[in-house]
Amino acid sequence: MEFRQLRYFVRIAELGSFSRASQALHIAQPALSHQIAQLEDELGHALLHRKHNGVQVTEQGSAFYSHAQRILKEIDDLPNVVNRSAAELRGTVSVGLPQSTAAQYAMPLLSALCERHTGISLELFDEISGNLMRGINSGHMDIAVVVSDEDALLGKSVALMDEELFFITKAGSEVGARLPVARLAEMPLTLPGMHHGVRALVENATRQHGTTLPTPAIVANSMSIMRRAVVSGVASSVMPWGAICDDIRAGVVQAVPLEPKLSRRVYVCWARDTSLSLAAQAVRDLLVDVTRARVASGEWAGVELL
């Protein structure tokens, strides 16, 4: 087994196609197919299902992908082991961010990284929390910000902050200084699907206060769709301040505190069964430092540092 075969397989699995991987790797497709066939022969298992429109990773291939990803990252990190200067760290670090507040983390992190670690590049993802932990445990992501206690337990984590959830509605709506949680059941809401943490929090909170949340007027697993629904006045929502702060500042929508207060805990997570590369450690620490500095300075409202 050769390291190049691992790289070839990982690229094919990520792109879902021999032809696309061939172009990305600058290798003739027959040669690429030959290398993967040799790898499968050596392992004694098919790693990929060949289909007319691409490839699909098999169950054995999925397990192999996770380990191959981690091996390749450790190899790429070897120069950093020799040269530990922060200014000379090299590598690509994949970072998963919660869909709702990805922008609050991404731009400050990128700006700080350009100042402190010019040799590190980022690959950013925004997903719901469950998908982020799957990305961590599969080796697809190095670190992630998750907003679920259950997900955080699946890996190693550091608690970052408690993030308050607000009733978000069009500016000018007469709802009072605070909205009782029970009244959410009366409101036309736009919320994400059942698998999303915010939806579960809202449903549990209303249930605890004697009401049942009906099916939301708009179910959307998309922040942009929910945001447009709120801005247009079609529906209201329950979101953290960071998800829609630009519209709050612009006076387009208003964030009304809920009574009692509803919040979620935010964690920075990484895989339990592997060590982070030096580059990934640097990005993790920088992400925590930058986020805490923004909160402490008042740039990020509605959160309490831990």
pLDDT at 86 over 70: no
Give the model's pLDDT for residue 80: 65
Instruction: Tell me the per-residue pLDDT of 26-38, one tens digit each, with 9 for 90 and over.
Output: 888 888 888 898 8
For residue 219, count other CB atoms closer than 10 A to its CB.
Answer: 16
Q: Quick one: average pLDDT of 8-32?
A: 88
Instruction: Tell me the per-residue pLDDT of 137-162, one tens digit each, with 9 for 90 and over.
Output: 888 899 999 998 888 888 899 999 99
Give the model's pLDDT for residue 91: 85
Structural domains of the chain in order of their starting residue, each with its CATH number: 3-75 (1.10.10.10), 83-162+266-305 (3.40.190.10), 163-263 (3.40.190.290)
Give the model's pLDDT for residue 226: 93
Give the model's pLDDT for residue 130: 75
